[in-house]
Amino acid sequence: MPATDYIASIGLEVHVQLKTESKMFCACPVRFGAAPNTLVCPVCLGLPGALPKLNAGAIERTLVVGALLGCGTPEVVKWDRKNYFYPDMPKNYQISQFDLPLCLGGAVPLYELAYPKDAQKEIANPGKSVRLTRIHLEEDVAKSTHHAAYTTIDFNRAGTPLMEIVSEPDIESPEEAVAYLNSLRQILVYSGVSDADMEKGQMRCDVNISVRPRDQEELGTKIELKNLNSVSAVRRAIHHEIGRQIAEVEAARPIQQATWRWNDEVGQTELMRLKEDAHDYRYFPDPDLLPVRTAPFLDRIRGQLPELPHDKVARFEESYRITHYDASVLASDRALADYYEAAAAGSSAPKKIANWVINNLLAELKARALSIGECPVAPDALASLVDLVESGTVSNNQGKEVFAHLFEHPDESPADIAKAKGFEPADSGEIDAIIDEVVAANPGPVDDVRGGNDKAANFLVGQVMKRSRGKANPKQVTETILAKIRG
Ligand code: ZN
Ligand code: MN
């Protein structure tokens, strides 16, 4: 059977570190870059007799994410011990949630711009959402570093609040998995609960993946993939694993439920261990922690939910009359959206501001490897520059020169920069005289324009721009030329 006769079913388990001040079950600070094993106490070291205390902020933040993704929440949630031995967790159990997690159900919408760039033209299932099974809260383990002959363990990370977001196997391709991770990250950053940076380990992803013939209803045996350190690695790993599983099925070698790891250097998956099931962990309720009634937490977060990326896109289209694409680009990053909105709010030309932000500002930031948060040009400075161009005080090209200068000298005003560069609005008599000269010197194009060919006017406008050394406003010149020729 050709590979196209198979369907892949992919579910993602995403662990996200929450941005809280303190750890999940003790008061130790959550902070990166401190000297190893300096942010620790008996609780997060797992010393005998130490008792955990709940972090209410972590519960609230998880419920915020649940509310944004349309999850339900049980009236009472509880804490369970997930038992296994590993040196990064000396209690020999992780405090997690088993049958009563903070969030159940919900879905993640896949945003168009969240797909890989090369896949955005042909999105197989536009408007798709991926259903969620659950979101639970647990504690992170310590960080092991494997050296040549020994391993070191840093407990600063141990006990960091960790949200685990589990999806249904609704994802059908590596590209949808990328879109899921990028959309989820956008929403998490919007919600302010996490920076969710995969490269920094703040967001970690395991993939469950199976294949089955198109006409088979029941899912195939799933393989869990681990060690995926970037969104692009997730795409490569799934692509490889789908091919491997189809080849196995084709060769009549049954897939065995197991955990594999992705080796990004070699570009292939490697068997780690045959898979254990949930019951192997002997989950049981943690006797040190009481169950939690969720109603007071839900009351507290109501009314403080942020606007979601797709709601922002719709509002930008409506309020600022910009295209869906432009609104999606601007809303793809919360800081960029805030910047745009600050610039557009007081402006008469919000559409033009969108153009300047997307075409000029982002290019300039990229060239200098700056983030929007580090942008030296204030939103109101960009707005007044766009006003100068729109009012015809400076031409578009002059505007770009002012913009480049503004990047170097963000404390100067666009109007002052334009004046210093001698970009006075051209005196209309002078431009009028140039237009008359150009019309007289080009009878051919003038005839074409008279005959209804608007394109021929572009040539004449170009001539005027050249002779005025860019001082004229092309929009006004076009209007004047058409009026003069057609009467
Ligand atoms: Zn601690
Ligand atoms: Mn987990």
- In this prediction, residue 425 carries a pLDDT of 67
Share of the chain above pLDDT 90, in %: 73
Which one of the ligands is nearest to 39 CA? Answer: 1
Residues bordering ligand 1, an ion, CB closer than 5 Å: 26, 28, 41, 43-44
Domain map of the chain by residue range?
3-301, 307-420, 428-486
DSSP, collapsed to helix, strand or coil, labels residue 225 as strand
The residues, ordered by sequence, that sit 6+ positions from 384 with a Cβ below 8 Å of its Cβ are 413, 414, 415
258-263/223-228 β-pairing: parallel
When pLDDT is averaged across residues 11-15 and rounded to a whole number, the result is: 97
- In this prediction, residue 50 carries a pLDDT of 94
When pLDDT is averaged across residues 60-84 and rounded to a whole number, the result is: 96
- In this prediction, residue 392 carries a pLDDT of 80
- In this prediction, residue 469 carries a pLDDT of 74
Least confident of 353-367, 410-424, 442-456, 466-480: 466-480
Average pLDDT, the chain: 92
When pLDDT is averaged across residues 106-120 and rounded to a whole number, the result is: 96
* Residue 423 or residue 246, greater confidence: 246
User: Hey, what CATH topology would domain 428-486 get?
Assistant: Arc Repressor Mutant, subunit A (1.10.10)
- 195-229 pLDDT, tens digit per residue, is 999 988 899 999 999 999 999 999 999 999 998 98
- For tokens 């989820």, the residue is 184
How many A from CA of 102 to the centre of ligand 2? Answer: 14
Least confident of 214-223, 231-240, 401-410, 452-461: 452-461
- In this prediction, residue 479 carries a pLDDT of 84
How many A from CA of 265 to the centre of ligand 2? Answer: 26
How many A from CA of 206 to the centre of ligand 2? Answer: 10
When pLDDT is averaged across residues 74-89 and rounded to a whole number, the result is: 95
How many A from CA of 222 to the centre of ligand 2? Answer: 18
When pLDDT is averaged across residues 307-320 and rounded to a whole number, the result is: 94
When pLDDT is averaged across residues 159-167 and rounded to a whole number, the result is: 97
- In this prediction, residue 426 carries a pLDDT of 62
How many A from CA of 27 to the centre of ligand 1? Answer: 6
When pLDDT is averaged across residues 323-344 and rounded to a whole number, the result is: 94
- How far does Cα 236 stand from its chain's mean position? 19
- For tokens 């944004």, the residue is 68
How many A from CA of 278 to the centre of ligand 2? Answer: 11
What is the pLDDT confidence band of residue 343, given thresholds at 50, 70 and 90? very high
Which one of the ligands is nearest to 281 CA? Answer: 2
Does residue 346 surpass a pLDDT of 80? no
- In this prediction, residue 3 carries a pLDDT of 82
- In this prediction, residue 56 carries a pLDDT of 96
Q: Please say whether the beta carbons of 75 and 293 come within 8 A.
A: yes
How many A from CA of 162 to the centre of ligand 1? Answer: 15
| The Cα angle at residue 49 between residues 44 and 50, in degrees rounded to 5 | 30
- In this prediction, residue 221 carries a pLDDT of 93
- In this prediction, residue 428 carries a pLDDT of 72
Q: Please say whether the beta carbons of 160 and 32 come within 8 A.
A: no
How many A from CA of 164 to the centre of ligand 2? Answer: 6
pTM, whole model, 2 decimals? 0.83
Q: What is the DSSP letter of 356?
A: I
- 441-477 pLDDT, tens digit per residue, is 999 999 988 888 878 888 998 888 888 877 777 778 8
- In this prediction, residue 122 carries a pLDDT of 92
Q: Mind spelling out the 3-state secondary structure of 25-55?
A: CCCCECCCCCCCCCCCCHHHHCCCCCCCCCC
Residue 58's Cβ-count burial label (10 Å; 0-12, 13-18, 19+) is buried
